Structure 1
Amino acid sequence: MALPDRDYVAVAQARFDALANYQVTLKSTSARAETVEVLYGYRKPGFVRMDFIRPHAGATLTFSPESGKVKLWPFGIDTFPRLTLSPDNHMIQSPQGHRVDESDIGALLANVRALQQHGDTQNVGAETIGAREAAHVIVACRPGYRASGVFRYELWFDTSHGLPIKVVSEGESREPIETVLMENLRIDVPDAQLRPFA
């Protein structure tokens, strides 16, 4: 099916700019590490909560832009011990070097936009991801430039809300870096249903 020829990254950026919060189940796979599955919550201006499903089942991690600190409960929120860490602490970075304070959709889109400015964007067409209709887009930079170690992104944007639901990142030799699936994405969750960030 043909889709309108538009800048889906810009559409996603506008949608992200307009939302107040979101919750999603993230599934990250890479060649260098075991699969990570997290119930992820984000609230502007940058609060993050990650409840780990695997590995480290039960661990909870939160980030507050007010304190600039990460709190980690290895055995679940409000249990002992609780660690307070800097977001650049290697203990809480992903194998790909992702930091919790730069883990939201807005940070992803900023990296993609940086590649767009130094490369090419191709609208591939409509595809189905799970039960969702999505626009498949490839953004690749020219040789010699990369954003956050990524040379090429393949993204699938949900056509109903405009945000990405699958992202594949690759290095300069087209070696896969990471595949992230975003499932059960809920946008602008009512406060009463939003998991607390502290």
Structure 2
Amino acid sequence: MPVWLIALIAGDAVAADPLADAEARFRTLESYRVTLRSWAADGHRQVIRYAWRRPGWVRMDFVEPHRGAVMIYDPVTGRVRLSPFGLKHMTLNLAADNPVICDPRGHSVDRSHVGALLADLAELRIHGSLALHADAEVASRRTLVVEIEGAAGISVAGVHRCRIWFAQDTSFPMKVQSYGTHGKLIETVDMSDAELDIAFPERFFTP
């Protein structure tokens, strides 16, 4: 078989399962940082400077709404430190699933990372299908566009269909659109400025 044909077949095999590629890449990821921008269909908007480090540390610095608020999740204790007015002010110690700090869709801080998103997408795919769409650019970077849809009446975490833009060079999701069972858009999330495997300051997650 000609070398060019072998390369073509191998390339198609890699491109055929971008979700599996993204899951594999996340398992090797030590940390990431991103400006998370989300727009819900009901008009709710969030801008959060989001940081994650293995084995599950999360820090969220809020820009919009609640500007100045900081949440830090400790995977060892399973607790969240919430500083509504910044780290130099009052701090609350809460359970990760406390309704006060869950987002409007009920998502908890400990499952706010990309790994949890990919796990939900994999579960939805098991009960549905995955389709590849034409490549596109997000923030001047080439992406693979994937759509995952559950079978009739099937949803995971309230999502029946999801369109994801995976960066071709890192397999990181740069943009996500989620839809409900009636085809209505639930939310659009932009993560196009993600930085992977970065070194955070020593006490960034434990100030």
1:195 Cα shift? 7.1
The DSSP-based 3-state class of the residue aligned with 1:184 is coil
Higher normalized contact order (CA 8 Å, seq sep 6+, divided by chain length):
1
Taking the aligned partners of 1:175 and 1:81, their CA distance within structure 2 comes to: 40
Matched, 1:55 2:65: yes
- Which residue, 166, 173, 178 being the options, matches 2:182? 173
Q: Which has the higher strand share?
A: 1
The equivalent of 2:41 in structure 1 is: 31
For structure 1, the residue ranges without an aligned partner over 5 or more in a row are none
Amino acid of the structure 1 residue aligned with 2:189: V
Taking the aligned partners of 2:205 and 2:172, their CA distance within structure 1 comes to: 22
Consecutive aligned runs of 4 or more in structure 1 exceeding 6 Å deviation? none
Amino acid of the structure 1 residue aligned with 2:147: I
For each residue in 1:24-61, what CA deviation from the matched residue of structure 2 results, as whole angstroms up to 9, or x when unmatched?
A: 01001102242100000001111100000111111100
For structure 2, the residue ranges without an aligned partner over 5 or more in a row are 1-10
Taking the aligned partners of 1:34 and 1:152, their CA distance within structure 2 comes to: 20
1:12 Cα shift? 0.4
Amino acid of the structure 2 residue aligned with 1:14: A
Figure out how many residues of one structure are paired with residues of the other and give that number.
194
1:116-195 to structure 2, matched below 5 A, reads 116-192=125-201
1:80 Cα shift? 1.9
- Which residue, 193, 201, 204 being the options, matches 1:196? 204
- What is the TM-score with the length of structure 2 in the denominator? 0.90
Q: CA RMSD in A?
A: 1.4
Amino acid of the structure 1 residue aligned with 2:204: P
Taking the aligned partners of 2:147 and 2:28, their CA distance within structure 1 comes to: 24
Taking the aligned partners of 1:53 and 1:132, their CA distance within structure 2 comes to: 25
- What is the TM-score with the length of structure 1 in the denominator? 0.94
- Which residue, 85, 89, 102 being the options, matches 2:98? 89
Taking the aligned partners of 2:109 and 2:166, their CA distance within structure 1 comes to: 23
1:98 Cα shift? 1.2
Could you tell me whether the CA contact under 8 Å between 1:47 and 1:63 is conserved in 2?
yes
The DSSP-based 3-state class of the residue aligned with 1:183 is coil
Question: Rg: which structure is higher?
Answer: 2
The DSSP-based 3-state class of the residue aligned with 2:182 is coil
- Which residue, 51, 76, 81 being the options, matches 1:71? 81
- 28 and 125 in structure 1: CA distance in 2 versus 1, 3 angstrom threshold: same
Identity %: 38
The DSSP-based 3-state class of the residue aligned with 1:63 is strand
Could you tell me whether the CA contact under 8 Å between 2:50 and 2:58 is conserved in 1?
yes
Could you tell me whether the CA contact under 8 Å between 2:40 and 2:187 is conserved in 1?
yes
1:75 Cα shift? 1.1
